[in-house]
Amino acid sequence: MLQDPPSSAIAHYENFPVASLLCPPALRAPIAAIYHFARSADDLADEGQDSAAQRLRDLSLYRAQLELAAQPGPQRFDARWAPQFAALARAIAQHALPLPLLHALLDAFVQDVEKTRDAQGYATEAELLDYCSRSANPVGRLLLHLYGVHDPQALTRSDAICSALQLINFWQDPSVDIPRGRYYFTLQAQREAGVDADELRALRPSAATARMLQGCCQRARATMLQGAPLVHQVPGRAGWELRLVVQGGLRILDKIEALQFDTLRTRPVLRVWDYGLMLWRALWM
């Protein structure tokens, strides 16, 4: 599902800041339009008591609205989603947003519904990262498109940051995700650490689950650091916002380590004093 920078403690978790004060004013409207598009789709996939079949039907209708928003001229949108699609249509027209990236986000939400319906997880890290390529990476690429950054190296680094943020949220939130039928610890990681699947689903921490979490967090940190040089390629205030996003993810990893990798019972969050440390670290990136 749509995830936050791990620094957030709000009810909805997002993987990108929404039109913050550091964002260029001219881009706040299209960034907000992208956010509301993704937020509403995520709610269709995740909120309420609808059956999986109903969620998939709604997501299919939602995709049709996206296709309508890409057509020129005024359009009549479904009343349930008219405001967000009217805003998105303006953003698409004014900024030529790449439609495949928006469709990829919907593909991820559909995949989430199907995985939850079937009580399935992911077999390998490669399979999980493939999911991140649709659930998280399109957001970074959409933002880079708005910032006018198209360099292939920048896109690769953006993918690394977004995938790392998604993974960090997974390792931050098993106490929330597992009871809701979301299984992001891969079978590969469980096998390598010697984790008992039944104990994991019962949220019973052990030395094995701690080993697994430690390995997962180490890989997420390495992925984030691979993408971190992007902060020097994004212009102006947006680059400084990205520094704080990167530092927020890294700080959550610090907190998971301080918990001795026991997030099956506790969800680490950032406190007021953490932001000062993040800002200091951002200055030295």
pLDDT in tens, 32-80: 999 999 999 999 998 888 999 999 999 999 999 999 999 987 888 999 9
Proportion of the chain above pLDDT 90, given as a percent: 77
Q: Domains in the chain, start-ordered, CATH in brackets?
A: 21-97 (no CATH), 121-283 (1.10.600.10)
Question: What pLDDT band is residue 22 in, cutting at 50, 70 and 90?
Answer: low
Instruction: Kindly state the average pLDDT of the residues 242-259.
Output: 94
In the predicted structure, residue 13 carries a pLDDT above the cut 60: no
pLDDT, tens only, 115-164: 999 999 999 999 999 999 999 999 999 999 999 999 999 999 999 999 99
Distances (CA, A) of 144 to 118, 151, 278: 35, 9, 23
